[in-house]
């Protein structure tokens, strides 16, 4: 079914309820979302803060945080039908809050709308409703984290979070946070000295199988703003540990649109715009309950790669590949793998790069199309978390001489020469009498 057909068939999406309870040293959270009377979702999350737990005396103070976490979790389920009415039960959010959420949903789903050929507008694609006499969310109380000596660092298993972790630990006590632990995330934490699950804050986040079933049946599917979900969970981390600061590893390149000249940005929820909006929302509507920022925001990808290259102990274990994450490997066939290979090559010898990846990705003809997307030889960048066109081209220019016999580098040189010939010909035609 199309976007229009689904919206007509399923006009209402309900954020029905949520529950949370402490079992041992873990917080169990369940949300209930539904579409009409026939489709129900009950995703379940388990937060395990380990030795860092400082549970509030009255767990009810977490109510507002859990409610807001549900507001970002629901987007993964809402998108399968894009119902025009979002009915929120339990609390009523203000006009200013509605503006924040509408902007986040719209920009965070930019790639989803683009790939699914959805044509709508910022105001009409979604409207909020509040059945019954729900209290104002502004009446909620929020815990205030006071510990500024420690800092929470989310670990994603790639080069960026390694740089953040290693730089911050020189001056502060770092507490790692991992969502759904896997090989690379646990290995990076282990290399940093966090050797037991008790050392790490862990979130086990489950997708309701019903959503996967609907995706297989042809309901709408696509990218959602994962980093925005991460941001809201950090408010919960601060509440149950008392740690105020959360240092992300989002760099300046996240601000560049994936589709030039548009708002469509695969990395929108990693952008400075979202980060500032989120901090303002937490300050105004969540009791200023934590401080969320990106340690790497002032840096570009080349600077980050150069800093990562100073920590060779992580070379055997770090991974940035989504396609190979379940098997804890570099797939060596995707934009993430090729981008990481390009951006690190100016700082890590070729022989070491081949050891890390298992092959030389710059000498792989099958990656030519991906290479063109990364360098700007194609109209669009890949829909992945990769650097800017300028950063990629700068990295290639730094290795041209030492890698000039490799397939993709020769392809790049030939493309540049062809463009130069075209430019000269245009100049000649324009100068002709």
Same domain for 33 and 89, yes or no, is yes
Task: State the number of CA atoms in the 13 A half-sphere of 99 facing the CB.
Answer: 7
Neighbours of 317 (CB within 10 A): 19
For 176-212, what is each residue's pLDDT tens digit? 999 999 999 999 999 999 999 999 999 999 999 999 9
For residue 333, give its domain range.
319-419
For 79-124, what is each residue's pLDDT tens digit? 999 999 999 998 999 999 999 999 999 999 999 999 999 988 888 8
Which of 294, 329, 357 is where one domain is finished? 294
Which of 259, 294, 329 is where one domain is finished? 294
Model confidence at 1, in pLDDT bands (50, 70, 90)?
confident
Same domain for 258 and 344, yes or no, is no
Model confidence at 244, in pLDDT bands (50, 70, 90)?
very high
Confidence (pLDDT) at 380: 84
Query: Quick one: average pLDDT of 302-309?
Result: 97
Same domain for 271 and 368, yes or no, is no
> Facing residues of 291 across strands?
245
Taking the model in full, what pTM does it have? 0.93
- Could you give the residue ranges of the DSSP H alpha helices within 242-367? 272-285, 301-308, 335-344, 350-357
Encoded tokens for 344: 């690190």
Confidence (pLDDT) at 121: 84
Of 38-47, 131-140, 205-214, 273-282, the range with the lowest mean pLDDT is: 131-140
Of 130-134, 142-146, 276-280, 349-353, the range with the lowest mean pLDDT is: 130-134
Q: Tell me whether residue 408 is in a domain.
A: yes
Q: Tell me whether residue 170 is in a domain.
A: no
Assess whether pLDDT exceeds 50 at residue 223.
yes
Assess whether pLDDT exceeds 70 at residue 172.
yes
Query: Quick one: average pLDDT of 164-176?
Result: 96
Confidence (pLDDT) at 418: 67
Confidence (pLDDT) at 300: 95
Assess whether pLDDT exceeds 60 at residue 428.
no
Rounded to a whole number of angstroms, the CA Rg of the chain reads 23
Q: How much of the chain exceeds pLDDT 90, in percent?
A: 86
Which of 279, 294, 309 is where one domain is finished? 294
Assess whether pLDDT exceeds 60 at residue 422.
no
Confidence (pLDDT) at 3: 93
Same domain for 269 and 352, yes or no, is no
> From the centroid of its chain, how far is CA 38?
31
Query: Quick one: average pLDDT of 386-403?
Result: 94
Same domain for 378 and 238, yes or no, is no
Confidence (pLDDT) at 260: 83
For 154-167, what is each residue's pLDDT tens digit? 999 999 999 999 99
Q: Tell me whether residue 159 is in a domain.
A: no
Same domain for 333 and 235, yes or no, is no
Confidence (pLDDT) at 419: 65
Assess whether pLDDT exceeds 70 at residue 423.
no
Higher-pLDDT residue of 411 and 418 is: 411
Q: Tell me whether residue 180 is in a domain.
A: no
Same domain for 122 and 250, yes or no, is yes
Interatomic CA distance for residues 23 and 16, integer angstroms: 23
Assess whether pLDDT exceeds 80 at residue 433.
no
Confidence (pLDDT) at 379: 86
Model confidence at 371, in pLDDT bands (50, 70, 90)?
very high
Question: Of 306, 364, 307, nearest to 335 (Cα)?
Answer: 364
Same domain for 281 and 347, yes or no, is no
Confidence (pLDDT) at 424: 39
Q: Which residue has the tokens 């992300």?
A: 248
Q: Tell me whether residue 111 is in a domain.
A: yes
Query: What per-residue string of b and e applies to 33-47 under the rule 16 or more CB within 10 Å gives b?
Result: bbbeeebebbbebeb
Q: Tell me whether residue 301 is in a domain.
A: no
Q: Tell me whether residue 152 is in a domain.
A: no
Long-range contact set of residues 321-326: C-beta below 8 Å, sequence gap at least 24: 322/384, 325/157, 325/182, 325/184, 326/182
Assess whether pLDDT exceeds 90 at residue 213.
yes
Higher-pLDDT residue of 8 and 427 is: 8
Assess whether pLDDT exceeds 80 at residue 425.
no
Neighbours of 289 (CB within 10 A): 22
Assess whether pLDDT exceeds 80 at residue 314.
yes
Q: What sign has the CA pseudo-torsion 278, 279, 280, 283?
A: positive
Q: Tell me whether residue 335 is in a domain.
A: yes
Q: Which residue has the tokens 């509408």?
A: 102
Same domain for 68 and 213, yes or no, is yes
Same domain for 219 and 337, yes or no, is no
Same domain for 134 and 279, yes or no, is yes
Confidence (pLDDT) at 427: 46
Q: Where are the beta strands (DSSP E) in 92-251?
A: 127-129, 147-154, 173-179, 201-205, 243-248
Mean of the per-residue pLDDT values for the chain?
Answer: 93
Confidence (pLDDT) at 429: 45
Domain count, the chain: 2
Same domain for 257 and 346, yes or no, is no
Encoded tokens for 61: 């103070």
């Amino acid at each position: 079914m199309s976007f229009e057909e689904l919206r007509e068939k399923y006009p209402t999406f309900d954020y029905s309820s949520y529950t949370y309870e402490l079992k041992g040293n873990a917080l169990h959270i369940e949300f209930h979302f539904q579409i009409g009377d026939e489709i129900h979702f009950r995703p379940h999350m388990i937060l395990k803060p380990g030795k860092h737990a400082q549970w509030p005396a009255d767990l009810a103070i977490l109510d507002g945080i859990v409610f807001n976490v549900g507001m970002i979790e629901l987007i993964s389920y809402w998108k399968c039908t894009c119902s025009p009415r979002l009915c929120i039960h339990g609390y009523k959010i203000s006009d200013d809050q509605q503006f924040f959420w509408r902007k986040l949903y719209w920009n965070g789903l930019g790639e989803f709308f683009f790939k699914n050929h959805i044509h709508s507008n910022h105001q009409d694609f979604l409207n909020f409703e509040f059945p019954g006499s729900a209290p104002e969310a502004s009446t909620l109380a929020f815990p205030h984290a006071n510990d500024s000596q420690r800092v929470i660092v989310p670990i994603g298993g790639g080069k960026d979070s390694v740089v953040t972790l290693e730089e911050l630990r020189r001056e502060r006590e770092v507490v790692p946070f991992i969502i759904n632990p896997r090989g690379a995330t646990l290995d990076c934490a282990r290399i940093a000295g966090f050797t037991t699950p008790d050392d790490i804050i862990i979130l086990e986040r489950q997708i309701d199988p019903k959503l996967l079933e609907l995706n297989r049946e042809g309901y709408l599917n696509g990218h959602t703003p994962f980093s925005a979900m991460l941001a809201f969970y950090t408010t919960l981390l601060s509440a149950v540990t008392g740690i105020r600061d959360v240092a992300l590893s989002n760099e300046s390149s996240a601000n560049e649109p994936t589709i030039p000249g548009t708002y469509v940005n695969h990395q929108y929820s990693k952008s400075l715009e979202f980060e500032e909006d989120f901090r303002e929302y937490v300050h105004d509507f969540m009791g200023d309950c934590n401080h969320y920022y990106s340690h790497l925001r002032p840096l570009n990808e080349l600077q980050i790669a150069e800093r990562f290259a100073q920590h060779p102990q992580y070379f055997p274990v770090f991974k940035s590949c989504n396609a190979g994450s379940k098997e804890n490997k570099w797939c060596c066939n995707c934009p993430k793998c090729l981008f990481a290979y390009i951006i690190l090559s100016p700082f890590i010898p070729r022989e070491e790069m081949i050891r890390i990846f298992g092959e030389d990705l710059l000498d792989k003809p099958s990656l030519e199309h991906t290479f063109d997307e990364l360098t700007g030889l194609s109209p669009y960048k890949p829909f992945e978390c990769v650097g800017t066109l300028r950063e990629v081209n700068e990295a290639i220019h730094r290795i041209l001489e030492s890698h000039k016999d490799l397939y993709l580098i020769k392809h790049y040189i030939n493309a540049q020469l062809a463009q130069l010939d075209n430019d000269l010909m245009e100049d000649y035609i324009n100068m002709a009498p």
